[in-house]
Structure 1
Amino acid sequence: MARDLSRKLDAPLVVATVSRLVYDLNRPPTAPGAMPSKSGAIQVPGNLNLSDDDRALRASEVYEPFHAKVSEVLDGFDTPPAFVTIHSFTPTWDGKNRETQLGLLHDADPRLAMAMMAISDDTLVTRLNEPYSARDGVTHMLERHAIARGLQNVMIELRNDLLTREDDVARISSLLAGMLTASLDLQPESA
């Protein structure tokens, strides 16, 4: 999804190279959820009983290089870019079905999320700050890279059952590209 959206917007993309169960790059090293010992009701054996040294080593090997690369990409722009993160979530969590299909999350700067909400249609069940919000501690990427630089930003959450087929991924990435282009008043890429 992110690769397709990046291509459609002709935008750079920095991709995690490890599962969020190894290190959730949207969490600072001090956050318990950065290296979760459980995912839902399932234990993550590789994260049980990590020492402070183990956590520090993993942060230096995974977290720091990733965030350094994001900073490097952002520093390479002549004009301030928008900052967009893409994540997926499960349709069911903790025994509850999630109606939301597309979540548009923001932290301290709601401009881009609100602009996208204003033009959203009924193609997908779209909600602001669902299934998560800044209160859940999930906006570290926005805080560290966008808020600190004054960049318009949004965290996009897609329900992962909508991303199982290539044609659905292409359709949804086109929808998101259109929403971002219109919300940022960009010129669409010529076909």
Structure 2
Amino acid sequence: EGAKMSSVLLVTCEHGGNQIPREYRDLFHGANDVLESHRGWDPGALRAARQLAKQLQVELISSTTSRLLVELNRSLHHPRLFSEFTIGLAASEKQQILNRWWHPHRRQIVDWIGEAVRQGQQVVHVGVHSFTPVLNGSVRRTDIGLLYDPRRPSERRLCTQWGRLLKGNLPEMVIHRNQPYRGAADGLTTWLRTQFEDRCYVGIELEINHRDLHPWTSDSTALIRSVGMTLAEVCG
């Protein structure tokens, strides 16, 4: 075992907005309510990601195109890669959408990570998301979820330490690991784990409850400050 690799942080935000490009707006006629909902985007996530990246002085790669055009956090084979609004498009049109939005986002991230790894660094990638407080009638108690793959020792170790620090800094918040979703489910980090080994790549999804970010308040700013401070401590 060689010397411990120095780590570098990358922040991404896949669902930062609910924009629909002009040429596809006809497909979303009358769909404003859905676009404004958690299905259209992750409210507050981009603001959180921007604050986090600025605070830690690290790279941010983000998208503001609605996940209802194409879901950047799903694999090409996933049945919900395209929503009910775009699933009926011709294969050639779907390919155009993938070429313009899905592939460039992934390529930018892979290139960035690949360059850091070539320089001998371990990349800690934090994908920032927000989730709806109530899903199908059930209230989610989680305020902050740290999603990771338990089979990856680096991820398990980082999230255990980060979760402990968050609980100490934010005693009133409910902090969970691998809730409200499982970190090993299909997504961007899951795919990136197949591209980079554990010692080079640590992929974490930071899931924050909408109610803590939207509408944004001074409490939201303080929350993200604590998130950044504790993350810096874990990665330091």
The TM-score with structure 1 as length reference comes to 0.82
1:148-181 C-alpha deviation (Å, 9 max, x unpaired): 3231231100011111224233212111112211
The percent identity for this pair of structures is 22
- Which has the greater radius of gyration? 2
Q: How far apart are the structure 1 equivalents of 2:194 and 2:55?
A: 25
Q: Does 2:143 match 1:101?
A: yes
1:82 matched residue in structure 2? 124
Q: Does 2:98 match 1:59?
A: yes
Q: 1:135 offset after TM fit, Å?
A: 5.5
1:168 matched residue in structure 2? 219
SS in 1 for 2:80: helix
Task: List aligned pairs for 1:148-163, cutoff 5 A.
Answer: 148-149=195-196, 150=198, 151-163=201-213
1:117 matched residue in structure 2? 163
The TM-score with structure 2 as length reference comes to 0.68
* Greater CA drift, 158-167 or 97-106: 158-167
Q: Is the 8 A contact 1:91 1:161 kept in 2?
A: yes
- Tell me the amino acid that sits aligned with residue 73 of structure 1: W
Q: Could you tell me which runs of 5 or more consecutive residues in structure 1 were left unpaired when the two chains were aligned.
A: 38-45, 187-191
Q: Does 2:176 match 1:127?
A: yes
Q: Does 2:225 match 1:179?
A: no
- Tell me the amino acid that sits aligned with residue 169 of structure 1: S
Q: Could you tell me which runs of 5 or more consecutive residues in structure 2 were left unpaired when the two chains were aligned.
A: 1-47
Q: How far apart are the structure 1 equivalents of 2:188 and 2:103?
A: 12
- Tell me the amino acid that sits aligned with residue 92 of structure 1: V
Corresponding pairs, count: 175
1:58-112 C-alpha deviation (Å, 9 max, x unpaired): 2222110000111222233232221111101111111111111111000242232
Q: 1:136 offset after TM fit, Å?
A: 4.2
Q: How far apart are the structure 2 equivalents of 1:111 and 1:62?
A: 33
SS in 1 for 2:58: coil
